[in-house]
Amino acid sequence: MGTPPRVVIEWLEVNDPRVARRITTQEAVGRLGEPLTASRVRVEDPHGFPQGSELVVQRVSLNPDVSARGGAAELTVFNARLRLPSSDPVFFSGRYRPGALEVRFYARALELQDVLPWLVKGPTRGLWSGRLSEFTGTLEGSLRQLNLHGTFHVDRLARRELTILRAPGLADLTAAFDERPPRLHGQLTLSRGLVVARQASITLAPSR
């Protein structure tokens, strides 16, 4: 058999509101039945994210498994940046295989108002507000259930008359996506910091 023909797409634009307002890639190269690599992929206003969000990916590799049923494929993302309206970009790279997702991420500063709409059904006013920084970790699991493990720093979290300040933390959470919003369970641990409530303040410290 001869070599499969090489496919080169110099510009591709997709407009599908079910996925995003606009998706573009400046170059996609591959051969039929072999891995396809797309460069400089931009996803504007992805569905389910706050308005004004944007996903920019340096390179995406799609490796089809021609022997599998249902068109199974492995998707690898290199050097992606998720830009949210009020936060610093979330940097991540990862890989998805049928039934298995592995992602490593880092966010220098993350505003809670950008995250709550994914986790809470209905209005978020009156819930927690504030800012996390130096959030780094992993997402592992499937599209139905994801496990998040990571470390972060609470710059400020507030709800009504309760405020948490300057608290490093650990996250060990599981999200089940069988309903919207996803069901969360697990543990968030704050090892130190300051808790302020009305006329009282409490300093958190590691146990000895």
- Percentage of the chain with pLDDT > 90? 56
Judged against a pLDDT cut of 80, whether residue 154 lies above it is answered with yes
Task: Write the burial class of residue 142 (CB in 10 Å: 0-12 exposed, 13-18 middle, 19+ buried).
Answer: middle
Q: How high does pLDDT run on average in the chain? A: 88
Judged against a pLDDT cut of 80, whether residue 19 lies above it is answered with yes
Judged against a pLDDT cut of 60, whether residue 123 lies above it is answered with yes
Answer yes or no: are the C-beta atoms of 27 and 9 closer than 8 Å.
yes
Torsion sign across C-alpha atoms 151, 156, 158, 164: positive
Does the N-terminal peptide bond of residue 89 adopt cis geometry, omega within 30 degrees of 0? no
Nearest Cα neighbor of 194 from 151, 150, 152, 155 is 155
Q: What is the pLDDT of residues 56-99, one digit of tens each?
A: 999 999 887 654 555 568 999 999 999 999 999 999 999 998 88
Judged against a pLDDT cut of 90, whether residue 205 lies above it is answered with no
Mean pLDDT of 188-205: 86
Answer yes or no: are the C-beta atoms of 94 and 113 closer than 8 Å.
no
Q: What is the band of 186 on the pLDDT scale with cuts at 50, 70, 90?
A: very high
How much is the pTM?
0.86
pLDDT of residue 116: 82
Among 93-107, 118-132, 176-190, name the most confident range. Answer: 93-107
Number of other residues whose CB lies within 10 A of the CB of residue 6: 10
pLDDT of residue 55: 97
Among 65-69, 145-149, 188-192, 199-203, name the most confident range. Answer: 145-149
